[in-house]
Amino acid sequence: MNQPLEVLEQATRHRYHVPARADLLPDEEPVRLLSPDGTLTQDERYPLDLDDHDLQQLYRYMVLGRRLDDESIKLQRQGQLAVYTSCLGQEGAQVGSAYALRRDDWIFPSYREHAVARVRDVDPVRLLHHSRGTWVSAHDPREWRFASQAVSIGTQIIQAAGLATAAQFAEDDIVVMTYFGDGATSEGVTHEGMNWASVFQAPIVFFCQNNGWAISVPVSRQLAAPTIAHRGIAYGMPGIRVDGNDVLASYAVSRVAVDRARSGGGPTLIEALTYRMEAHSTADDPTRYRGGDELAFWSAQDPLERYQLFLSARGLLDDAFVAEVAQESADMCARVRSEIYDAPHGDPAELFEHVYEGVPAHLAAQRAQLQGEIAAARGDAS
Amino acid sequence: MVQALNRALSDEMEADPDVIVLGEDVGTLGGVFRVTDQLQAKFGPHRCFDTPLAEVSIIGASIGFAIYGRRPVPEIQFDGFAHTAFEQIVSQLAKYRNKTRGTVAVPVTVRVPYGGGIGGIELHGESPESYWIHTPGLRVVTPGTTSDAYWLLRESIRCNDPVIFLEPKRRYYLREDVEFPFTGAPLDKAVVRAEGTDVTLLAYGPLVRTAMEAAAAGPADGLSIEVVDLRSLSPLDDETILTSVRKTGRCVVAHEAQRTLGVGAEIAARVSEAAFDVLQAPVLRATGFDTPYPPARIEQYWLPDAERILDRATQAMEY
Ligand SMILES: Cc1ncc(C[n+]2csc(CCOP(=O)(O)OP(=O)(O)O)c2C)c(N)n1
C-alpha cells in the first residue's frame, strides 16, 4: 500500500486545487436580442437559426397561450375551474425555451407552463381538467412527453433529472427541460436535482422563470446569491441570465443549452427574468403586496407587443397571418369552452381502479360501499 | 438473509434488463450490509450505481427512471433516513399511477433495512411502516424468514406498484438451507407459520422469529398458539387473518413499531368489525412503547420479546 508521494498527491489533487471556473458565471447583463422597440441585435454566443416560418410560429404560440390564459380565467370566474394559475407576461420565456426542444424531448413543468404546453400541442382541454378537478392528470404524460403538472413546489426537478439520467444511460439522445419559479429555488429538492444532474452530467436544462414573486414573497427573500443563475457555479454548471420577455433571446440561450445537453456537455441553469402580470392564481389578491408602478413598468416590457414590433418590421405580420392566428385561437377557445363547460365528472368508483394495478379486497369493499351510498342517494332523490 | 436478498436482486437483474439498483454505497462497497455486493461488477455502472448522499434524489430520480421505463430498486441506507424522502414517497411515488389515471405506473421497489435490536445509535432502529401503510398506492412488504426475503423481493420488483420493502436488519444473518431459485407464496398473502388452536398471533418482519419462540414456549403455559406471518402489511390479507381468528377466537398482534396507530390498531379494528361474533377476548397488542426508539443500552426493555407476547396471549385466555 506504500505509494510514492507524488502519486498520492496526484490522486488527491482535485480535492485541494480547484480550477477557476469563472466561465460558468453568468454575465451581469441578461442576454437580450430584442429591445422593447423590437430592434434585433445579434449576439454571436447565442446565434439565431430561425427562418421566417419559425419566427411566425413563435408569435402563433404566444398568441395561443395568451388567448387560452384569458379564456381559462373566464372559465374560473364562471365556476368552471377550481383555480387557475395564469402565465400572462411569461409567454416569451415559455415559448422561446420550449421551441428549442425536439418533439421527443421531455418537459417537466410546474403548474404555470400553459404556453409551453401550446408549443408541445398538449390537448388544452385535458390539461384544464387538472384545474377543473376532473382528474389530476387527464393527459397521458408519455404521449406528449409532458409530465404531470407539479403542484408541490420543486418536486418535478429531481424526477426530471432522474429521467434525463435514464436516457443518458440508455444512450438515447433526448434532452429534458424542467420549469420552475424563483420561489422553487429555495426548496431542498431543487438543490438535489441540480446537484444530481451535474454529478451525472445528465442531459437536462433547468429553466427558472424568475417572475419576481412567489405568491406575495419577493425574490429577495429566496436567496442571497447575486442572482439565481450564479448558483450554477456551485454545481459546476453554467448559469445564464436571459431577458425572459424576449422570446428570441429565450429561444437562443435555450438552444445553446439544449445542444450542449444533447452533445454530452451536461446541464445548464437558465434564469429568465420575467414578470407575472396576473395574480399568482385566481384565488390571489396581488394588490396586497405589489404596487401599480411595478405593473406599469412591466407592461411596457410585454413580450408579445415587443415581438409584434419586430415581426412587423420584418414584414412577417401581415393582416392575413394575424387573422389566421386569431381565428385559430378563437377556435381553440371555443372548443375548450364547449368541452370544459359543465363537463361531467367520471364515475367516482373509477378512483379505486388506479390505486394499485388491481383492486385489492379492502378497496373493492370500500368501492361497493360508495356505490351503495350513491345508489341510495339516487333512490332518495327519485 | 443478506445472501438471499443479494441473490434475489441478482436473479431479477439477470431476468429483466430494466431492473436497476441505486443508492448510497451500493456500488463499489456493495451496501453497508452487503445486500448489493458484486452487483455493479456483474451488471455494470449503469445497472447498479452510487448516488449523491441525498434521499430525496434517490427516490425522486427513481421516479424519473420509472417514467422512462425502468424498474428501479433504490436502497435507503437506514430506516430513520427514509423520512428525508417522505414527500417523494407519499406524494409522488404513491400517487403517480392514480393521478395519471392509470397511464403511468412507477414500479419502484424501495428497500429499507428497518427495526431495532442491533445496538445501533439513534435513528438506526426505527419501525416507520405505519407512515407508508397509511398511504394509498404503496405496497408495504416485509419478510420474516430468509427464504421469504428472496421470494418477496423478487415478487416486489416484478410488481407494477411501488413497494416499500422493509428488511428486518436484526435478522440479516438468519440462516436457512435453501436451493435457489425457488418460488413462494404470492406477494399479498399472509402465511400460517405454526398451527395452533387457542390464540392467533399475528407478527411480521423481525418479530416472526420471536413469535415462533413464543409459540414453542406456549405449551409449557398450556397455550396452543397459531402464528401468522403477515408478509404484506399493505394491503393486508384479511382472509388469512380472519380464517385463523375464526378458528381460535382470540387475536394478539405483535410489532416493534410504536403502539398508537400501528398495524395492531388496524387489525384490531378489522377483526372486531368482521369477526366480533367469535371473539372471546379483545384483540391485544404486544408492541414497542409510544416513546422515541430508545438508546441501544436499554432497547431490550423496549422491544417486544417472547415474554411480552406470551403475557398478551395469557391475558387473552383469561378473559
Ligand atoms: C412544497 C410547497 N410549498 C408551498 C406551496 C404553496 N405555493 C404554491 S405556489 C407558491 C409560490 C411559488 O412561487 P415560485 O416558485 O416563484 O413560482 P411561481 O408561482 O411564481 O410561478 C407557493 C408557496 C406549494 N405548492 N408547494
Q: With a 6 A CB cut-off, is A67 part of the ligand 1 pocket?
A: no
Q: How confident is the model at residue B167 (pLDDT cuts 50, 70, 90)?
A: very high
Query: For position B34, what pLDDT does the model report?
Result: 97
What's the CA gap between A36 and B277, in Å, rounded? 80
Q: Catalogue the active-site residues of B.
A: 124
Distance A270 CA to ligand 1 centre (A): 19
Residue B169 identity: K
CA distance, residue B318 to nearest chain A CA (Å): 32
* Nearest atom, ligand 1, residue A180 CA: 15
Residues 6+ apart with CB under 8 A from A333: A67, A68, A70, A71
State the helix-helix crossing angle for A303-314 and A247-262, rounded to 10 degrees: 90
Distance A180 CA to ligand 1 centre (A): 9
Give mean pLDDT, residues B247-269.
98
Query: For position B77, what pLDDT does the model report?
Result: 97
CA distance, residue A148 to nearest chain B CA (Å): 7
Contacts of A324-332 spanning 24+ positions with Cβ under 8 A: A325/A59, A325/A60, A325/A63, A325/A64, A326/A63, A328/A60, A328/A64, A329/A63, A329/A64, A329/A67, A329/A68, A330/A67, A332/A64, A332/A67, A332/A68, A332/A124
Give mean pLDDT, residues A284-305.
93
Q: What DSSP letter does each residue of A346-360 carry, written as one string? A: --GGGGGGGSSSS--
Pick the range with the lowest mean pLDDT from A8-17, A30-39, A278-287, B112-121: A8-17
**Which set of grid coordinates corresponds to residue A148?**
404531470
Q: With a 6 A CB cut-off, is A181 part of the ligand 1 pocket?
A: yes
* Nearest atom, ligand 1, residue B87 CA: 1
Span B195-236, pLDDT tens digits: 999 999 999 999 999 999 999 999 999 999 999 999 999 999
What's the CA gap between B72 and B221, in Å, rounded? 48
**Which set of grid coordinates corresponds to residue B71?**
424498474
Q: With a 6 A CB cut-off, is A197 part of the ligand 1 pocket?
A: no
User: What is chain B's mean pLDDT, rounded?
Assistant: 97
Q: What DSSP letter does each residue of A80-142 carry, written as one string? A: SSS-----TT-HHHHHHHHHTS-TTSEEE--S--HHHHHHHT--HHHHHHHHHTS-S--S-HH
Which residue do the cell numbers 443563475 mark? A229
Q: Are A162 and B61 in contact (CB under 8 A)?
A: yes
**Which set of grid coordinates corresponds to residue A6?**
507524488
Q: Which residues pair with B48 in a beta bridge?
A: B21
Q: How confident is the model at residue A19 (pLDDT cuts 50, 70, 90)?
A: low
- Of A60, A58, A53, residue with least CA distance to A326: A60
- pTM > 0.90: yes or no: yes
Q: With a 6 A CB cut-off, is A375 part of the ligand 1 pocket?
A: no
Q: With a 6 A CB cut-off, is A216 part of the ligand 1 pocket?
A: no
Query: For position A380, what pLDDT does the model report?
Result: 79
* Nearest atom, ligand 1, residue A210 CA: 16
| Phi, psi (rounded to 5 degrees) for A83 | -155, 150
Give mean pLDDT, residues A345-368.
96
| Ligand 1 atom 17, closest CA | A181
Query: For position B106, what pLDDT does the model report?
Result: 98
Q: What DSSP letter does each residue of B183-225 carry, written as one string? A: --S-TT--EEEE--SSEEEEE-TTHHHHHHHHHHHGGGGT--E
Q: How confident is the model at residue A351 (pLDDT cuts 50, 70, 90)?
A: very high
Q: How confident is the model at residue A382 (pLDDT cuts 50, 70, 90)?
A: low
Give the chain A residue nearest B159 (alpha carbons): A357
Give mean pLDDT, residues A231-251.
97
Q: How confident is the model at residue A10 (pLDDT cuts 50, 70, 90)?
A: low
Distance A111 CA to ligand 1 centre (A): 9
Span A108-118, pLDDT tens digits: 999 999 999 99
**Predicted ipTM of the assembly:** 0.94
State the helix-helix crossing angle for A52-77 and A319-340, rounded to 10 degrees: 40
Span B115-150, pLDDT tens digits: 999 999 999 999 999 999 999 999 999 999 999 999
What's the CA gap between A247 and A252, in Å, rounded? 9
Are the beta carbons of A162 and B64 separated by less than 8 Å? yes
Q: How confident is the model at residue B153 (pLDDT cuts 50, 70, 90)?
A: very high
- Of B194, B212, B201, residue with least CA distance to B284: B201
Interface A–B counts its CB contacts (< 8 A) at: 129
Span A304-343, pLDDT tens digits: 999 999 999 999 999 999 999 999 999 999 999 999 999 9
Distance A247 CA to ligand 1 centre (A): 24
Are the beta carbons of A140 and B52 separated by less than 8 Å? no
CA distance, residue B67 to nearest chain A CA (Å): 7
Span A70-96, pLDDT tens digits: 999 999 999 999 999 999 999 999 999
From first CA to last CA, the distance across chain B in angstroms is 39
What's the CA gap between B314 and B319, in Å, rounded? 9
| Phi, psi (rounded to 5 degrees) for B96 | -60, -45
Q: Catalogue the active-site residues of A.
A: 276, 280, 289
Q: Are A136 and A148 in contact (CB under 8 A)?
A: yes
Pick the range with the lowest mean pLDDT from A130-134, B33-37, B73-77, B176-180: B176-180
